[in-house]
Structure 1
Amino acid sequence: MNVRKLRLQRGWSQEELAEMTGLSIRTIQRIERGQTPALESRKALAAVFDIDISQWQPEDSEMSNTPETTATDQQEQQALEYVRDLKAFYTNVLTYLVVIPFLFFINLTTSPGYLWAWWPTFGWGIGLLIHGIQTFEVFNFFGPGWEKKQVEKRLGRKL
């Protein structure tokens, strides 16, 4: 059972699911990342999702490698990873936009003679630029194609 997929289908947040099941948010996060839940957690989740507990099948790595794994599942996983990367980038940008002006405020109130706040502005800015390039795959030198070639090369296969 894919708890994340069921939760998103119903439009619930992790907090809402945790409240309905009586589990902690951390437990919900762990289950969504692939950790096998305890029997009591499975019972609570099955009750909330209105699923018979006998239908519960943990998603093992062995199951994900079976031929039944479809291209749609892989595309969905790639889309989720991209959204996570995008969220991390936007969080980084927002933090930058809040912290840097604050640093300039501190700099101008404590030592206006020397503007040291430019150093973190440039350093963090370069990191932010690199993060954006990776997130939006502007230069895809080490992307999935490169990874596949390296794996095939290691295994001695030809493409």
Structure 2
Amino acid sequence: MKGIQMIIRKFRLQRGWSQEQLAELSGLSVRTVQRIERGHKPSLESLKSLAAVLETSVENLQPEQVMDSESKLTQEEQVAIEQVQAIKGFYSHLISYALVISILFAINLITNPSYIWAIWPAMGWGIGIVNHGLGAFEVLNFFGPKWEKRQIQKRLGRKL
């Protein structure tokens, strides 16, 4: 993820604000702030509102014109943001799993309590949940950034 959404998110997080707080202070809707942080292109008016609240210029919010180091994201910050997004994705997936599997068990117990068929989707999807969690929390990261770097170096014929 690159561009304006990362810049705005960085400014917001530096101030310790939630998306709701940024929306309230800037006069934008929460949905607009969420869309911008997901990569949707903001209007000039939205940019002006955000720039005023974030105490910067519109130019500093536009990635192709970012010049000052305050608004640039370091590699470390990008990695941290991506890790947090992966963990957030895992928790969202886990909540979906819990809700859907609960509904399946309820349907199963109402329609045919003598055979518990809901265990099969619970186990199948559960394997996916475990895999997602291991990746999000970097417990097993066989194909992570270090592996990618080694593979790139290898293909470029550079020593490791």
- Shorter-normalised TM-score: what interval? 0.7 to 0.9
For CA contacts below 8 A with separation 6 or more, give which structure has more relative contact order: 2
Over the aligned positions, Cα root-mean-square deviation in angstroms equals 2.9
Q: How does 1:92-131 map to 2 (within 5 A)?
A: 92-131=93-132
Which residue does 1:11 correspond to in 2?
16
CA offsets per residue over residues 91-132 of structure 1, 9 Å max, x none? 222332333232111101111232210111111111111112
Asked whether the 8 Å contact 2:93–2:129 carries over to 1, the reply is yes
Secondary structure of the structure 2 residue equivalent to 1:102 = helix
Deviates more, 1:86-95 or 1:121-130: 86-95
Which residue does 2:79 correspond to in 1?
78
Secondary structure of the structure 2 residue equivalent to 1:56 = helix
C-alpha distance in 2 between matches for 1:107 and 1:21: 49
What is the CA-CA distance between 1:6 and the residue it aligns to?
1.8
C-alpha distance in 2 between matches for 1:5 and 1:138: 27
Which residue does 2:90 correspond to in 1?
89
Q: Does 1:135 align with 2:136?
A: yes
Distance of aligned partners of 1:59 and 1:30 in 2 relative to their CA distance in 1, 3 Å threshold: farther
C-alpha distance in 1 between matches for 2:58 and 2:48: 10
Q: Does 1:28 align with 2:29?
A: no
Deviates more, 1:18-27 or 1:133-142: 18-27
Structure 1 gaps, min length 5: none
TM-score, with length taken from structure 2: 0.76
What is the CA-CA distance between 1:142 and the residue it aligns to?
0.8
Return the match for 2:45 from 35, 40, 46: 40
Asked whether the 8 Å contact 1:34–1:59 carries over to 2, the reply is no
Deviates more, 1:32-41 or 1:74-83: 32-41
Which residue does 2:60 correspond to in 1?
56
Asked whether the 8 Å contact 2:94–2:129 carries over to 1, the reply is yes
C-alpha distance in 1 between matches for 2:108 and 2:135: 31
What is the CA-CA distance between 1:147 and the residue it aligns to?
0.4
Calculate percent identity across the aligned residue pairs.
56
What is the CA-CA distance between 1:151 and the residue it aligns to?
1.3
TM-score, with length taken from structure 1: 0.76
Structure 2 gaps, min length 5: none
- Count of matched residue positions in the alignment of Structure 1 and Structure 2: 152
C-alpha distance in 2 between matches for 1:150 and 1:157: 10
Secondary structure of the structure 2 residue equivalent to 1:84 = helix
